[in-house]
């Protein structure tokens, strides 16, 4: 069974940093692209970042480029999102999601981790 479990969310002050993790199991992690998608309270889905299976291709939404860094450790079956210079508008539930490639849809999603940016 495919499982994606996010962790690392919490309350952080504006300008602060946070690192999210996503632990994957039930599939060959190194064969799949991975994505981060967020959802602000009461709002729609917003794509954040994608990384190819070997980390050769990495893409970011304009709203986070230069502040967030996506990475993965295939030996640990883990996906990460380093978030720096956080703003109030980054407050959201952050989902990790699996894709076959960076251009294909996300067929499995984790349950999400809440990030709250507030003073």
Residue ranges binding other proteins (CB under 8 A): 35, 37, 44-47, 50, 59, 61-62, 95, 97, 102-107, 109-112
Q: Which is nearer to other proteins, 46 or 116 (CB)?
A: 46
Tokens of 98: 């699996």
Instruction: Say which residues have a Cβ less than 8 Å from residue 49's Cβ, sequence separation at least 6.
Output: 35, 36, 58, 59, 60, 61, 64, 68, 70, 81
Minimum distance, C-beta of residue 48 to other proteins, in the bound complex (Å):
9
Q: Which is nearer to other proteins, 35 or 53 (CB)?
A: 35
Length of the chain: 119
Minimum distance, C-beta of residue 24 to other proteins, in the bound complex (Å):
14
Minimum distance, C-beta of residue 61 to other proteins, in the bound complex (Å):
7
Helix (H, G, I), strand (E, B) or coil at 86: coil
């Amino acid at each position: 069974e495919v499982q994606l479990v996010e962790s690392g969310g919490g309350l952080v002050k504006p300008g602060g940093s946070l690192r999210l993790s996503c632990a994957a199991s039930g599939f060959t992690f190194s064969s799949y692209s991975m994505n981060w998608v967020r959802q602000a309270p009461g709002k729609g889905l917003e794509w954040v970042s994608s990384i190819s299976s070997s980390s050769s291709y990495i893409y970011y939404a304009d709203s986070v480029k230069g502040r967030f860094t996506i990475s993965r450790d295939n030996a640990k079956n883990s996906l990460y999102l380093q978030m720096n210079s956080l703003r109030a508008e980054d407050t959201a539930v952050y989902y990790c999601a699996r894709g076959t490639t960076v251009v294909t849809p996300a067929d499995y999603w984790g349950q999400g981790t809440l990030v709250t940016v507030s003073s």
